[in-house]
Chain A
Amino acid sequence: MILSLTIWIPIAFGVAVLAIGNDRNPLPARWLALAGSVLGFLVCLPLWFGFQPTADMQFTELRPWISRFNVNYHLGVDGISMPLILLNSLMTVLVVVAHWEVVTEKVSQYLAAFLLMSGFINGTFAALDAIVFYFFFEAMLIPMFLIIGVWGGPNRVYAAVKFFLYTLLGSLLMLAAFIYLYNQTNGSFEILDFHRLPLPLTAQVLVFLAFFMSFAVKVPMWPVHTWLPDAHVEAPTGGSVILAAITLKIGGYGFLRFNLPITPDASHALSGFMITLSLIAVVYIGLVALVQADMKKLIAYSSISHMGFVTLGLFIFNADGMLGGMIQMISHGFVSAALFLCVGVLYDRVHSRQIADYGGVANTMPVFAAFFVLFAMANSGLPGTSGFVGEFLVVLGTLKVSFWQAFLAATTLIFGAAYTLWMIKRVVYGAVANDHVAALQDVGRRELAFLVLLAVAVLWMGIYPKAFSNVINPTVLELLRHVSQSKV
């Protein structure tokens, strides 16, 4: 019941916000959306507190949906999906708070899109039936397409269409793979039945590639990452937050839930390929981030580089790597959201994302600058922040497999620090660069609220990661055991 509530409460509120929407007086819609997102987050809390640290599916729900094709409305969470649901519900609250004085056009549609999106994403993470998963996975495209295309920057239409078509191509191939697996299991769309299904290696490789097309685009992995800088840069702040913090995680989650357990032999066979792509993302995209002149673009490339760490961790097949990848996903959710919100704070005041338009922000916005620097440190993996834990574990895990791979991965600690801190240096420090910066007002209470919340999360995860690893570890160990057994 709890999982259904986490899905349908945001959706119901989203529809209600659309219904009462009034462009002249957006205040009721705003409060209703806030109520919906907070309620949506509150109903998630029992998941965290009631979670048993085992690898079993918990809070399961099972109802027939389309009995002819044996499709069931089957929900449940384990250690890898539960934290992501929480993360998503929290981000929705932040997005609603962050939009308050900023978005003034078509407010109710904007809020409704995010609430619907939140429900769909929770459904994606909670689904234990492939069709339920696909249903939410694809439904998500519609609000995201509109968020980027309607409220985005100057080049928004191009970015929205590109985002949509890239994702659609990948996911339709995944649908074909689902139907293939359905026929192979003699009529079951249960994801857990797919996990148990023996498959010859050729079939495994094809199914792996179909899933890969879908999730690699979402992550995104090099070379199918090109939609991301466009989409993130053009999206409104809230859109960038949800894209970076949540939808990228769906790619990583997909690898954990589908690729690894359904096609373990293909995963082993293709691990070299996956590791190579991940390392290219880490090193090459890290270098690309270094030369960006646009703050959002820089954070977008930094996201790709960090997500490369996630896929690297997943495909070296040891506990450190996989746990590290999972923690990196959650940490990146907090950090990238925080960075995009920080850029949003600046953009709302100056209406520019160019690094060159800033300089000496610390002089006029000292409180803001402190938070910005903290999140930048987390992004470059400073010990004590959440960014460190995941990266460290992944490097440690990789070291057990290959020194040179670990060496390449570890370069991110240098490049990451370089591009993030260089941006900070140019934006925050130095003398006040121009009149716009001189006229800046420091953050208000509303902005302070979400910055403090994220700072607490980043530090909590950095200082006491055990709270997360306790939840995640049993599932990761069980998954590793499952993946080590051949299904051929």
Chain B
Amino acid sequence: MNTATFSFATIAPAMPEVVFSALLFTLLIVDVMLAEKDRHITYWLSLATLLATAVLCLVSLGQPAAVTFQGLFVADALSQVLKIVTLLTVAASLMVSRTYLAARGLLTGEFMTLTLFGTLGMMVMISAHHFLTLYLGLELMALSQYAMVSLQRDSVRATEAGMKYFVLGALSSGFLLYGLSMVYGATGSLELTRVAFAIEQGQALDLLATFGLVFVVAGIGFKLGAAPFHMWIPDVYHGAATPATLLVGAAPKIAAFAFVMRLLGTGLQGLSGDWQQMLVILAVISLAVGNIVAIAQSNLKRMLAYSTISHMGFVIVGILAGTDNGYSSAMFYTITYAIMTVASFGMILLLSRAGFEAENLDDFRGLNQKSKWYAFVMLVTMFSLTGLPPTVGFFAKLFVLQAALEVGYTWLVVYAVLMSVIGAFYYLRIVKIMYMDSPSGEMTLEPRADARMVLSAMGAITLLLGIVPAPLMELCVRAVAASM
């Protein structure tokens, strides 16, 4: 164990992270040398970094699972798939944000490198096989995001949001660390498979482990943004510049899913009887708070924040089934949710322009008359969030509900269904505003081709996966099966 051999074979599983870091540091240096007018080179290099790493992950997809660095790090099908999706989501988020950032002087090296460092944190989280790596990845991601949210230092709202995010995030990390230390005390190990083994063999101190679990679940609730640990979400989503909101709201959910999978699915699977009950409470409250409070919002970003809470409720319903089926359905849900998030926040960015934030519901008034295609993309996204066929949101909900019903949570399924009817109301309101109201004032669409391309692609994917969901579902099932 203690003979640390540093051969290529040990590093090979972490190749995507290694290459990503190397490119990231190169970018950092290049950016310093660039003149202000050439700043777009940083943007293109960031995209290249993200895409190159995604390709690298894709290449290593077929390889068998490998645990390396003395059990700190794992590279398996689950991690490769989630990393590819994360990298692509971050790339898409940057592409829709470009003009918005440029118009507000945020298209800077700082923003790009913070984004990429955050992405590196997500990758580490996804591949973590040890409490320490999990925490390391989590903090790398979170610290970059705190900074990203408050990067607009002249904006009171952004600073306040960053402050809230930081304080609550730090608090939740504290919870999590406290819980993990309890679990360590109970099982004598920090490595996920050993923790699982100790619990399975009955060597763990049950009471202590369960006590720790409570704090771990609280920490997870914070990171996922599940009620009653959701207080930061509306303020951060609302206060941050929209690109930062998108970067906090889309890709990190995938990383958070991986985090939950590793912690609960792999490490603490033996305590599933206990955490299921806790997650039921989180799911019930999240679904209620998310859907009901969202109705009262007139600010689109706040509304989408509450919508996130309710969708995390659905993800939790999938996870708490505790079966392979449940995990893969939750994974499917998270991935498709990330796509829809990019599309919905992308629409806000599309309609914003210099000195104008299109973040109120009324700013979407009569969009259908201005642009049929983008109104249609938003329509598809909203119905997908509602969970209506022929969009992918329907299958995401179907798979999750099936997994929960399979293990006997009939009442929870009926409850989730009723809550999503309430949720339908506010998504419907956006469709109504776009199609049934007439435009109130001037409306301009962002001119850049990259943003338009990404949005069109997101709309098309949402529809396409709604008609042929099988390949992505199959991928999720295999990835989960390979990691268990």
A150-B372 in contact given A145-B431, A176-B401, A179-B413 (Cβ < 8 Å) = no
Q: Is A69 an interface residue (CB 8 A)?
A: yes
A165-B431 in contact given A179-B401, A179-B402 (Cβ < 8 Å) = no
A157-B389 in contact given A66-B469, A179-B398 (Cβ < 8 Å) = no
* Cβ–Cβ contact A161 & B405, under 8 A: no
Query: B407-437 interface mask toward A, CB cutoff 8 Å, 1 = contact, 0 = none?
Result: 0001001100110110011001001100110
Q: Is B474 an interface residue (CB 8 A)?
A: yes
* Cβ–Cβ contact B388 & A138, under 8 A: yes
* Cβ–Cβ contact B417 & A161, under 8 A: no
A179-B405 in contact given A68-B470, A68-B477, A134-B389 (Cβ < 8 Å) = yes
Name the CB-closest residue of B to A106.
Answer: B368
Name the CB-closest residue of B to A151.
Answer: B436
How distant is A287 from chain B, measured CB to nearest CB, in Å? 32
Contacts of B395 in A (CB 8 A): 66
Contacts of B123 in A (CB 8 A): none
* Cβ–Cβ contact A161 & B432, under 8 A: yes
Q: Is B383 an interface residue (CB 8 A)?
A: yes
Q: Is B306 an interface residue (CB 8 A)?
A: no
* Cβ–Cβ contact B417 & A173, under 8 A: yes
Name the CB-closest residue of A to B388.
Answer: A138
Q: Is A397 an interface residue (CB 8 A)?
A: no
Q: Is B473 an interface residue (CB 8 A)?
A: yes
A67-B470 in contact given A139-B390, A149-B432, A161-B428 (Cβ < 8 Å) = yes
Contact of B401 among A18, A65, A149, A175 (CB under 8 A): A175
How distant is A299 from chain B, measured CB to nearest CB, in Å? 24
* Secondary structure of the A contact surface, majority rule: helix
Contacts of B399 in A (CB 8 A): 69
Contacts of A66 in B (CB 8 A): 395, 469-470, 473
* Cβ–Cβ contact B388 & A157, under 8 A: no
Query: A151-193 interface mask toward B, CB cutoff 8 Å, 1 = contact, 0 = none?
Result: 0000011001100110011001101100110110000000000
Q: Is B406 an interface residue (CB 8 A)?
A: yes
Name the CB-closest residue of B to A172.
Answer: B417
Q: Is A302 an interface residue (CB 8 A)?
A: no
Q: Is A135 an interface residue (CB 8 A)?
A: yes
Q: Is B327 an interface residue (CB 8 A)?
A: no
* Cβ–Cβ contact B394 & A135, under 8 A: yes
* Cβ–Cβ contact B473 & A68, under 8 A: yes
How distant is B481 from chain A, measured CB to nearest CB, in Å? 11
* Cβ–Cβ contact B372 & A160, under 8 A: no
Contacts of A68 in B (CB 8 A): 470, 473-474, 477
- Tell me the bound Cα distance from A165 to B424 in angstroms: 7
- Tell me the bound Cα distance from A467 to B208 in angstroms: 76
Q: Is A79 an interface residue (CB 8 A)?
A: no
* Cβ–Cβ contact A165 & B425, under 8 A: yes
- Tell me the bound Cα distance from A136 to B401 in angstroms: 19
- Tell me the bound Cα distance from A172 to B388 in angstroms: 10
Contact of A142 among B388, B406, B470 (CB under 8 A): B388
* Cβ–Cβ contact A182 & B402, under 8 A: yes
Chain B, interface residues (CB within 8 Å), range: 35 or more
* Cβ–Cβ contact A135 & B390, under 8 A: yes
Q: Which of B448-484 contact A (CB under 8 A)?
A: 469-470, 473-474, 477
* Cβ–Cβ contact B389 & A139, under 8 A: yes
* Cβ–Cβ contact B394 & A176, under 8 A: no
Q: Is A109 an interface residue (CB 8 A)?
A: yes
* Inter-chain contact total with CB atoms closer than 8 Å: 88
A175-B398 in contact given A134-B389, A145-B431 (Cβ < 8 Å) = yes
A161-B401 in contact given A21-B372, A135-B390, A150-B435 (Cβ < 8 Å) = no
Q: Is A241 an interface residue (CB 8 A)?
A: no
Name the CB-closest residue of A to B401.
Answer: A179
Contacts of B368 in A (CB 8 A): 106, 109
Q: Which of A122-159 contact B (CB under 8 A)?
A: 131, 134-136, 138-139, 141-142, 145-146, 149-150, 156-157
* Cβ–Cβ contact A160 & B402, under 8 A: no
How distant is B388 from chain A, measured CB to nearest CB, in Å? 5
A157-B432 in contact given A67-B470, A172-B420 (Cβ < 8 Å) = yes
* Cβ–Cβ contact A149 & B388, under 8 A: no
How distant is B310 from chain A, measured CB to nearest CB, in Å? 14
Contact of A183 among B386, B389, B405, B432 (CB under 8 A): B405
* Cβ–Cβ contact B413 & A138, under 8 A: no
* Cβ–Cβ contact A138 & B389, under 8 A: yes
* Cβ–Cβ contact A145 & B394, under 8 A: no
Q: Which of A318-375 contact B (CB under 8 A)?
A: none
Q: Which of B27-80 contact A (CB under 8 A)?
A: none
Query: B240-256 interface mask toward A, CB cutoff 8 Å, 1 = contact, 0 = none?
Result: 00000000000000000
* Cβ–Cβ contact B417 & A175, under 8 A: yes
* Cβ–Cβ contact A165 & B436, under 8 A: no
Give the most central of B390, B413, B420: most A CB within 10 Å: B390
Contacts of B388 in A (CB 8 A): 138-139, 141-142, 168
A160-B470 in contact given A139-B388, A176-B413, A179-B401 (Cβ < 8 Å) = no
Contacts of A150 in B (CB 8 A): 435-436
How distant is A215 from chain B, measured CB to nearest CB, in Å? 17
Query: B4-44 interface mask toward A, CB cutoff 8 Å, 1 = contact, 0 = none?
Result: 00000000000000000000000000000000000000000
A176-B425 in contact given A67-B470, A141-B388, A149-B435 (Cβ < 8 Å) = no
How distant is A208 from chain B, measured CB to nearest CB, in Å? 15
* Cβ–Cβ contact A157 & B398, under 8 A: no
* Cβ–Cβ contact B436 & A172, under 8 A: no
* Cβ–Cβ contact A142 & B405, under 8 A: no
Contacts of B379 in A (CB 8 A): 142
Contact of B425 among A109, A135, A161 (CB under 8 A): A161
* Cβ–Cβ contact A131 & B398, under 8 A: yes
Q: Which of A66-109 contact B (CB under 8 A)?
A: 66-69, 106, 109
- Tell me the bound Cα distance from A109 to B436 in angstroms: 13
Contacts of A173 in B (CB 8 A): 414, 417
- Tell me the bound Cα distance from A168 to B420 in angstroms: 9
* Cβ–Cβ contact A156 & B436, under 8 A: yes
* Cβ–Cβ contact A142 & B383, under 8 A: yes
* Cβ–Cβ contact B428 & A176, under 8 A: no
Name the CB-closest residue of B to A182.
Answer: B402
Name the CB-closest residue of A to B437.
Answer: A157
Contacts of B473 in A (CB 8 A): 66, 68
Contact of A180 among B372, B410, B420, B474 (CB under 8 A): B410
- Tell me the bound Cα distance from A175 to B387 in angstroms: 12
Contacts of A134 in B (CB 8 A): 389
* Cβ–Cβ contact B383 & A172, under 8 A: no
How distant is B370 from chain A, measured CB to nearest CB, in Å? 12
A172-B421 in contact given A134-B389, A139-B389 (Cβ < 8 Å) = yes
Contacts of B469 in A (CB 8 A): 66
How distant is B353 from chain A, measured CB to nearest CB, in Å? 25
* Cβ–Cβ contact A109 & B390, under 8 A: no
Contact of B421 among A109, A139, A146, A168 (CB under 8 A): A168
* Cβ–Cβ contact A168 & B424, under 8 A: yes
How distant is A177 from chain B, measured CB to nearest CB, in Å? 10
How distant is A376 from chain B, measured CB to nearest CB, in Å? 33
A69-B401 in contact given A176-B413, A179-B413 (Cβ < 8 Å) = no
On B, residues with C-beta under 8 Å from A are: 368, 372, 379, 383, 386, 388-390, 394-395, 398-399, 401-402, 405-406, 410, 413-414, 417-418, 420-421, 424-425, 428, 431-432, 435-436, 469-470, 473-474, 477
Q: List 11 A-B contacts (CB under 8 A).
A: A106-B368, A139-B389, A142-B379, A142-B388, A149-B432, A150-B435, A165-B425, A173-B414, A176-B401, A179-B398, A183-B406
On A, residues with C-beta under 8 Å from B are: 18, 21, 65-69, 106, 109, 131, 134-136, 138-139, 141-142, 145-146, 149-150, 156-157, 160-161, 164-165, 168-169, 172-173, 175-176, 179-180, 182-183
Known: A146-B431, A175-B398, A183-B405. 10 other contacts (CB 8 A): A109-B372, A139-B388, A145-B431, A146-B435, A150-B435, A156-B436, A161-B428, A168-B421, A179-B405, A179-B413
The 9 closest A-B CB pairs, nearest first, are: A172-B417, A135-B389, A66-B470, A149-B436, A169-B421, A179-B405, A139-B389, A179-B402, A138-B389
